[in-house]
Chain A
């Protein structure tokens, strides 16, 4: 029974990780990463490492995707389609 669960969790992890690599949009990647964190947490639970699973759940599926989303939002707000002077000011940084 445990072996089946471990295999399922491993397949989930592999699938989610591949999806994260294949996605090109950072926002989607953040969501896939969150799912990957969940799958890893399941895997660690089945491997009887609940401490690591808890860390993975909190950091991997909550904090990291949130930081990526916030970063994407900040970067997207950079001027890019404004007028010329604004663009220059943005690029100087």
Chain B
């Protein structure tokens, strides 16, 4: 395709998008108004299922199937990163040198670690009651763990982070979501339908399947982000390409079975 044709294709596409976008914008309700037909229906549906946080109800009850798709996208993205960032045959591992941490930084990071972890778990557990849920809490919990890297060094983080467990955790989160959906089918309802007892409004056990799905997503996202950051940290801190620093020969010694070796260390 020549540059001229490409430009025309782009212009036609852009014009079409501009028209549709303008039409859609004029069809929107006014900014900041109190009444919205979809909102009213969503609030009604979530209150009838005893889910105080309407957003959680929309995500994990009304649109649980959509969320399964989003969860799968996240799962595949982490899987793709793991495959892309695995150690190549001509790279080798070098133990990172322990870094000197300023005592004040160390104290602050160690002080913040437990509350940050707790906030993450709290946000996952209270997803059906207050803002947040599996995704948000999972990311908070996973980043909280990395305060160890700031407080101490990479070794300490690696010891506190059995990577295989987190890889299993990520898969388990995804599987739990599907199993919860299939359990509804076995109970004689539709896939991912909310079949559990709804409980008392605004308590930890309210919302039927919403807290279960929240926990599944929380497990997957927390594990997934840990695995994701572990791969990036590996690349930045440990894995060396031939020619870096001392220029040793390519693929010295441990060329073949890089994956297993990595797992053993984790």
Contacts and interface: CB of A to CB of B under 8 A. Distances in A.
Contact of B139 (A62, A70, A85): A62
Contacts of B247: 82-83, 85-86, 89
Nearest to A68: B232
A24 interface: no
Contacts of B232: 66-67, 70-71, 74
A67 to B, nearest CB: 5
A79 B53 CA distance: 52
B47 to A, nearest CB: 17
Contacts of B236: 70-71, 73-74, 77
A58 interface: yes
B241 interface: yes
Contact of B235 (A55, A66, A70, A83): A70
* Interface SS majority for chain B: helix
Interface residues of A, number: 26
A55 B136 CA distance: 5
Contacts of A85: 243, 247
B171 interface: no
B55 A93 contact: no
A76 B250 CA distance: 20
A17 B221 CA distance: 27
A67 B136 contact: no
16 contacts: A51-B131, A55-B136, A58-B139, A62-B143, A63-B143, A63-B229, A66-B146, A67-B228, A70-B232, A70-B236, A71-B232, A71-B235, A71-B236, A78-B241, A89-B241, A90-B241
Interface of B: 53, 55-56, 123, 131-133, 135-136, 139-140, 143, 146, 225, 228-229, 232-233, 235-236, 241-244, 247, 250
5 pairs of A and B residues whose beta carbons are closest in the complex: A50-B131, A86-B243, A58-B139, A89-B243, A54-B136
